[in-house]
Amino acid sequence: MKGFEGEPLRRGGWLLFLPANCSRLPEERRRALLSSTFAAIDGTLPKSVRRSRHAETWLERLGDGARPFVYIKVLDAARGLRAIRILFTGSRVAHVARISERLRRDGIGVPEILLVGGEVRGGREIIATAAVRGFSVLRHVSTRSESLAAKRAVLRGLGAEVARLHQAGYLHGDLTPYNIFVNRDDPTKFVFIDHDRTRRTIMSRFERPRMRNLVQLGHIDFKTITNTDRMRVWCAYSAAMPASRRRAARRRAASMLRRRIARDRDFAQAAETILPERTEVREG
């Protein structure tokens, strides 16, 4: 696989690479990782935790210890325009490995990559990453044990961290709250996952691409997170930006919030119209 450094391993029609950190794993965990990887390739793993349009993801346990869990993601063979794009941009998982290493060097939290690989002819690709020690932002701030002050501190920290991501020159491809994790041991630290479309680009200097990330960030269940909470994130984001950009960021954030409130109101009204008056919705 072009563009990735690591220990090569061939199996059937696949070429896998194990970076140095995976080579240093205890032999038992290394064998467990390879066994789960081969099972994912062969389609013999139990039910996956997520099936998206272009990939399937499993969560596997490698044994006891500090990092016993690993996410294994198999990407479907690219078709159509996506396949043509790959001819010019190269392997998707190799890109994730490269951009993750750049993010790590710039002090941005990312998952540890344990293995990447791809079919020599079939077009499928695979990547294994260590599970993050923490919870997604949405889950973290939604827990009942979380105090109001702690919740607000996490939201403000989130806005500042996204600003730091943009100032470092990066644009995330899918910056939803599900792709940002809060460190379990230190809630002031965040980890960004899912870097298939993350880029370090000159476009990060412009307001419109940055605001697109903030729109993605606003895709939070409004039953759990209020619009005031969203504004806390955006205000913290604008406050962390250079002085020349703060006013524009706050103005755009206010405009985004007004549109979001209007959309939430429309959803609520539509639900009241469709549901019968005595319909009860229960969780569980």
pLDDT digits (tens, 9 = 90+) for 159-188: 999 999 999 999 999 898 889 999 888 888
Distance (Å, whole) CA 138 – CA 224: 8
Whether domain 134-274 has CATH 1.10.510: yes
Where is average pLDDT lowest: 2-6, 21-25, 90-94? Answer: 2-6
pLDDT score of 50: 87
Same fold for the pair 7-130 and 134-274: no
Span 234-279, pLDDT tens digits: 889 988 888 666 666 666 666 766 666 666 666 556 655 554 443 3
- Name the class of domain 7-130: alpha beta
Question: What is the CB neighbour count within 10 angstroms for residue 25?
Answer: 18
pLDDT score of 263: 65
Domain boundaries, the chain: 7-130, 134-274
